[in-house]
Amino acid sequence: MAFQFPNGFLWGAATAAHQVEGNNNHSDFWLMENIEGSTFKEPSGSAVDHYRLFREDIRLLAELGLNSYRFSIEWARVEPEEGQFDEIAINHYRDVLEACKEYNVTPIVTLHHFSSPQWLIRAGGWESEETPARFARYCVYVMSELGGAIPYVCTINEANISIGIKKVIEQMQSGASVQVGINTEMMARMDNYYMELGKAFEVSPREIHTFLAPRTDEGLKVIFRAHVEARAAIREVCPEVQVGLSMSLFDIQSISGGEEHAANDLHEEFLQFIPYIQDDDFFGLQNYTRTVFGPDGALPVHENAEKTQMGYEYYPEGLEAVIRYAAEALNKPIIVTENGVSTDDDERRVAFIERALIGVHACIADGIPVLGYTHWSLLDNFEWQLGFSKRFGLIEVDRSTQKRLPKKSAFYYGSIAKSNMM
């Protein structure tokens, strides 16, 4: 790939704490994975042991040629009981940041990546009016302790994701065919599962409001108010830190007759939230595929289209389109905080990276301020309800030994990064 990217461009890869660290036993996900009748394919367990092997993983990232690492700080570790902050946990993340500094890697830190403390769910979770203040308090603690080593912070990962989850569940309840990365057997087992969860969380099954549960309109406002309150709190203690959040966005397209559906979807998934994020320092953009609308709504993925392990259409060109419409709507710097593909065919990952980066370069050439590209993910990891079966990583992990095995795509992506840093 011969294109030249700007000096200082952030070439990165990403992880999320619960998906890689292992033994995150104060989190809501840990409880949901291990409860009797769980709809999770398997529990996370020791995951890929990144909590112990983080230094090796950051060293490997740097040796590949990358200069940025997006990772999350686990709220359930830092505040395992409400108002009780764990010094060992915060010092662990201090060590992670020190490793980034040692290997000249710029950290992009996410303060909430899907998993929450169990106590938060017992206190009303992501539908409670108290959650924004609780989240801001946690952010203040983390940034007061570590903020001097953090140049970029995402408060919340994929703050809009519950909209898509709600649509998928409604489709599943209606009997429609759904090709996404959610276990469709879930609906048949959900009643018993939620009864057990209610006992474990000590709340009514109807009051289990985890981050990835379908949201009410008020619950969506809670999430975005949590971002606004956290942003203000972070700026109070660390005014030099660049603050934003990340959102999951599809390349929204239409065929004749689908234009109105496409416009409504764009508003629902993105445009309605601009008032909450217009004062951010940057926008974290995440894209994996496209959605095409026809006269009757969203169209299924064409039967002849290449699909990923998640059932998405293989469509790396979506990234460029999403960058362009986000830039037009926001007029602020953009960091691609996630982009990647789940596949066991690493040649298809190589092609995906190349085609996605061609689009990123075209946006930069047109003057759009894209600060960096962060590939999802650094490591094959725990893909939530789907367990370890989906492969997004640049680096394979033999979980019997926890040995790291970089793939061809890792060397290919790293070579692009190196060629742009000479």
Q: Would you name the residues annotated as active-site residues?
A: 158
Q: How far apart are CA 75 and CA 93, in angstroms?
A: 11
CB atoms within 10 A of CB 222: 21
Q: How far apart are CA 212 and CA 116, in angstroms?
A: 10
Query: What DSSP designation does 205 have?
Result: G
- Coil, strand or helix: which one is 419? helix
For the record, the structure tokens of 109 come out as: 């830190």
Query: What DSSP designation does 302 have?
Result: P
DSSP per-residue letters across 36-81 = TT--SSS--TTTT-HHHHHHHHHHHHHHHT--EEEEE--HHHH-SB
Cβ-based neighbours of 75, under 8 Å, separated by 6 or more: 111, 112, 115, 116, 117, 120, 135, 138
Q: How far apart are CA 211 and CA 44, in angstroms?
A: 18
For the record, the structure tokens of 176 come out as: 């429609």
* Residue 297 Ramachandran class (φ > 0 left, ψ -120 to 50 alpha, else beta): left
Helical H runs in 147-270? 161-174, 186-201, 217-237, 259-269
Contact 404, 395 (CB under 8 A): yes
Of 112, 131, 110, 163, the C-alpha closest to 270 is: 163
- Coil, strand or helix: which one is 397? strand
CA dihedral in degrees (88, 12, 285, 113; nearest 10)?
-20
